[in-house]
Structure 1
Amino acid sequence: MGSSSEDTLKRFAEHLQTQEGTSIRLSDGVLEYNRFFEIPGELSDLSGQKKRVLEVLQAIGNCKLGELTFDDVPGAELLSSEEWDSFFSSLLSSQSSSLEIFLECTLYSTVCTHVGAFVAKSSTLEGLWFGFPGNFRCRDRITMIPLSNAAVRALSEGLVQTKCLRKLSVFNKEGEMADVLTSAFTGDVRNTSVEYIIYREI
């Protein structure tokens, strides 16, 4: 990474560190953080996009978060399973006192397996939102990629094992979350922490 990129990431990380209970939305081009990332041509190829996403996730994993929203993030699909695991592991060790995660549009199919493991282990995650709370612009694009069996299993196990999750919202397309919810909330071993559920078919 060049010195200008290092300086940019440092400024961004320092900004996040000053924000108590930071609310972060990762969306198209990480638009709200463009003032930190104004290096011409850096995102012109796939390797540049991936590097940027990794840099941003690294900075986010080291700050106190209140809310984290994943939307359609260019380059996110390029990250390996190990890289996503590393990011969610950093969230587990962050200093956040409480956290809510919003998974919008198609990206949540990409990260669901990792989110499931995070839900199971986190002691600070209080809210988990699948879909588009109030964001109908991506209704037709949500979850175009079906959840894999591994993702369904990871989410179900995470929801059963969590002790801190209080709020769960599911905007469900074509019933694909039905298996997750059935596994997590029925049977002898089930979730006992969730107090508030929103469920909507779209």
Structure 2
Amino acid sequence: MNVTTETKGILKSTAVNVLCPEFDDRFQKWLAAVLGFNPENVVPNYKELATSYSTDGTNYAFFEFNSVTFEGTPCTEAEDDETETQRYDATTKCRITLVGEQSRERALFLHDVIFYSQNVYELEEIGLGPSDAEIIQIGTIQEGTRRTTTATVDITFAYIYKRIWEVKRIKEAPVEIISNP
């Protein structure tokens, strides 16, 4: 299949390993397992929390993928008469904020996991290749009369995702009729 501007039909794409809620769920599961945290206490930053974290000794991890830098142009990985699979190479950064009594210890452990590429098979399955980790902040926060330890880790990943492009003939494409009253 050679997709050009002259190809008749509607361009359809199926994405693999894009930064979406399912991707975050898989990353959340990995992060909770590596840190030894309760999965409910490992939360993407964009999700609204029912309550703020407590300072009762519970450990929390908040994460967000906050940048993507594309490298080169996409390359065609596979092609047949119906579809074309393009691979996109990029670098992405993830900021993880740890809160709780074990935050400093867990930040150092997370750094070492990435540095030595240990326990990263699940990451590689979703297109993330550990590249670098940096502990950018260790501190405390005050809530009421308690102080809680925090640590922030930035992780850089080589990131690969794919798109399977397909042209659907205009006859087969879904039709939507919009009528103006």
| TM-score of Structure 1 vs Structure 2, range by shorter chain | under 0.3
Larger Rg: 2
Scaled by the length of structure 1, the TM-score of the pair is 0.22
**TM-score where L is the length of structure 2:** 0.23
Higher RCO (CA < 8 A, seq sep 6+): 2
Bigger helix share: 1
Q: Higher strand share goes to which structure?
A: 2
